[in-house]
Amino acid sequence: MMDFFATCPKGLEYLLRDELVGQGADDVHEALAGVHFRGDLEAGYRACLESRLASRVLLPLHTFAAGDQDALYRGVRDIDWSAHLGAEGSLAVDAVIARSAIQHSRYAAQVVKDAMVDQFRTEVGERPSVALQRPDIRLHLLLRRDKAQLSLDLSGEPLHRRGCRVAQGGAPLKENLAAAMLLRAGWMEQYRQGGVLLDPMCGAATLLIEGAWMAADVAPGLQRDYFGFLAWRGHDVALWARLHERASQRAKIGLQQLRTVFYGRDNDAQALAAARRNAVAAGVAGFVHLQRGDVAHLQRPDGASTGLLLSNPPYGERLGNIEQARVLYRILGERLRDAFSGWRASVLVADPQAAHDLGLRVDRRHQLYNGAIECSLLHFDIHPRSAQPTSKPLSEGAQMVANRLRKNLAKLRKWLQCENIHCFRVYDADLPEYSAAIDVYAGRVLDDQGIASGEVQRWLHIQEYQAPATVDPLKARQRFGDLLHAAGEALEVPRERVAVKTRVRGRIGDRYNSKHHPGGLIEVEEAGLYFRVNLFEFLDTGLFLDHRLIRTQLRELAPERKMLNLFAYTATASAYAAIGGARATLSVDLSATYLQWASWNLARNGFTGSRHRLEQADVPRWLLRQAGHFGLIYVDPPTFSNSKRTGDFNIQRDHVDLLKRCGDLLESDGVLVFSNHFRRFKLDRTALEAVFSIEDGTKTSIPSDFARRSGIHGCWLLRPR
């Protein structure tokens, strides 16, 4: 059995996982921008030949420590390259660097190349040549946190190059993104039900050709004449020939049975010429109708009572300008309402305002990336104009909130994309009279067995802030209602996926109230880890979003240390330490509910067994009877507690004693990370500086999405003197 990694654009991981499972791959699990899987060589070949979604298929050869140039060089030299390439062959090296001592990818690739050719010179007196285009083998170096993984790129060049695009228009759509759009839009279900596929702005016909190949079961790699394994010394020629022949036979039968149900329009004559040439090269020209025309005169094809309209219209960041794009969206929405009743439509957009401009209620949405541009694939059921569902118009105040939300989301978009953040704060009482915090979570619903199923969806978690006593309670209720309406509209989230925590009055004063929501457990991804989140049943969701950078710091401090997590809650910090290389983790909390939750979080990420323990105990009492030592301690206490199980605890009064007891368990070169959410908290430096050197890390621990509320938590790093 071999290990493989198939890369893909962000947003396609779950689709690619399901595709590889369907191809018979083993131990398939998604990661950031790709999917791990296992199998024999046939599994790797099939992924190269049949995957519609993968960008590359990598076969890892060797993993080793590479903290500097010499270590990288030695690790590469340790591989027997004669098993992969002859001295007369050619090679290329790609490198990706993340948080390592070696910081330049070209330099790292050069070191790999030098180590390889030096081995050949030493062994046979000759060396391979370097060929940037179509080398005999292409290598991929991933250098992350000074750990190198060197892989053979079986694809050789990106798999979205199907071998049939002979012409292209402006801003071409990559074929694997086109395939993802078709899958998300449910094209094959439409096809099986007799529907047609229409792209009203088809450009070079990428969506139509992918749709035809999908319907005809044409393997996307069938027309390629180059893969990265064809000249590899480990290549099984007979196996590849069998797989290729089977795919050829399936395509022949599929094309014989294919129906002529593909329609494309474009107002650009050059784009249509490119579309015709590409359809001929793909072998589907006889099944595709192409016509010149603009969107304003769009009609459904004759006799097509049902079908899918799928399109990637020009948007401001890609072609033209934003205002022109918005006019185009409004025209498209009008034509859909007037002429396409009974159809489904899916439109790829980059502007959050686009759904509003289309004037249609969004049924579903998926996040995709067109190159570096974050986009949404919006799905609509088209009803007759008289029956078209419409949203209640926003009040003037709600419209103000909606505009602010769209502005905030646009401002955060690039940062969220660069940092790969899916759960974040998008609004925090930006408009004082609309006083609430709005957090966005992107996740998948967990079933009764705790398994994530379905598609990634956007959810909202909205917490009301207490209105001043001078504000009329009825007015406050109205404003909060406006905020809820605006949030659902601007962020395109239906009411059933909005968790609301509102303040209610009771004998114990202000508290939050939330209704139970069946199915409200979701799984979210953060920094390559997966966590369970409960948006509806508790005040806190299980993942403190404002602690994102604290968790990152714990991961960076964790390598080769034993980590203690006190008041562990759902053990997200322990998971970060574990993935950062901690030798062991111990998570202590009094709540059985939270420890069960923590157990799920750790197990979901593969951190089980005696190295990652959980213990139920009252932390202050637990500390009194401990004598072990830890290299990293994280303590994030509650502000206060007066339950019968814990006794009386107050963070301001008791933090000195608590931290000193933690210090007794800290190794001489260890680090104690202390945080809390008490806004009026004052660290008693006078009492603590005799024991610790203290670094205030609060400012650097506040993420960008919490910049408006910089006092949301405090964070300090304490080291023994």
Mean pLDDT of the chain: 91
Residue 169 lies in a domain: no
- Beta sheet of 562-566, edge-to-edge order: 612-616, 584-589, 562-566, 630-635, 666-676, 714-720, 692-696
Long-range contacts of 386-391 (CB under 8 A, 24+ apart): 388/337, 388/360, 388/361, 389/361, 390/361, 391/361, 391/489
Residue 438 CB contacts under 8 Å (≥ 6 apart), including other chains: 405, 425, 426, 427, 428, 460, 461, 462, 483, 487, 491
569 and 614 housed in the same domain: yes
716 and 630 housed in the same domain: yes
Question: Looking at 332, 365, 387, which one is the last position of a domain?
Answer: 387
Q: What is the pLDDT of residues 231-277, one digit of tens each?
A: 999 999 999 999 999 999 999 999 999 999 999 999 999 999 999 99
Residue 526 lies in a domain: no
380 and 429 housed in the same domain: no
Provide the pLDDT for residue 506.
41
436 and 363 housed in the same domain: no
CATH number at residue 11: 3.30.2130.30
CB 87 within 8 A of CB 34: no
Among the residue ranges 137-151, 257-271, 300-314, 501-515, the one predicted with the least confidence is: 501-515
Please give the tally of structural domains in the chain: 4
Q: What is the pLDDT of residues 391-436, one digit of tens each?
A: 568 889 999 999 999 999 999 988 998 888 999 999 999 999 999 9
Angle of the 572-579 helix axis to the 548-557 helix axis, nearest 10: 40
Structural domain span for residue 705: 544-720
Residues linked to residue 693 through DSSP beta bridges, in sequence order: 719
Q: How confident is the model at residue 619 (pLDDT cuts 50, 70, 90)?
A: very high
Residue 531 lies in a domain: no
Q: What is the pLDDT of residues 440-470, one digit of tens each?
A: 999 999 887 778 877 888 999 999 998 877 8
208 and 342 housed in the same domain: yes
Provide the pLDDT for residue 88.
95
Residue 532 lies in a domain: no
Angle of the 473-491 helix axis to the 396-419 helix axis, nearest 10: 50
- DSSP class per residue in 417-466: HHHT--SEEEEESSSTTS-EEEEEEEEEEE-TTS-EEEEEEEEEEEEEPP
Q: What is the pLDDT of residues 339-381, one digit of tens each?
A: 999 999 999 998 777 777 888 888 888 888 888 888 889 999 9
Provide the pLDDT for residue 114.
96
CATH number at residue 434: 3.30.750.80
300 and 378 housed in the same domain: yes
Q: What is the pLDDT of residues 649-684, one digit of tens each?
A: 899 999 999 999 999 999 999 999 999 999 999 999
Distance CA 504, CA 513 (A): 6
Tokens of 196: 């047609």
Give the three-state DSSP class for 204: coil
- Please report, rounded to a whole number, the percentage of residues in the chain having pLDDT higher than 70: 94
Question: Looking at 365, 387, 409, which one is the last position of a domain?
Answer: 387
Residues linked to residue 139 through DSSP beta bridges, in sequence order: 93, 152
Distance CA 493, CA 443 (A): 13
Q: What is the pLDDT of residues 8-64, one digit of tens each?
A: 998 899 899 999 999 999 999 888 889 999 999 999 999 999 999 999 999 999 999
Question: Looking at 320, 352, 387, which one is the last position of a domain?
Answer: 387
Provide the pLDDT for residue 318.
43
Cα distances (Å, whole numbers) of residue 57 to 53, 210, 502, 572: 11, 20, 49, 31
605 and 489 housed in the same domain: no
Q: Rounded to the nearest 5 degrees, what angle is found at the Cα of 427, between the Cα atoms of 423 and 433?
A: 155
710 and 589 housed in the same domain: yes
| pLDDT at residue 538 greater than cutoff 90 | no
Distance CA 714, CA 697 (A): 8
Evaluate if pTM is beyond 0.95.
no
Residue of higher predicted confidence among 511 and 154: 154
Tokens of 1: 């059995």
430 and 465 housed in the same domain: yes
Residue 164 lies in a domain: no
Residue 68 lies in a domain: yes
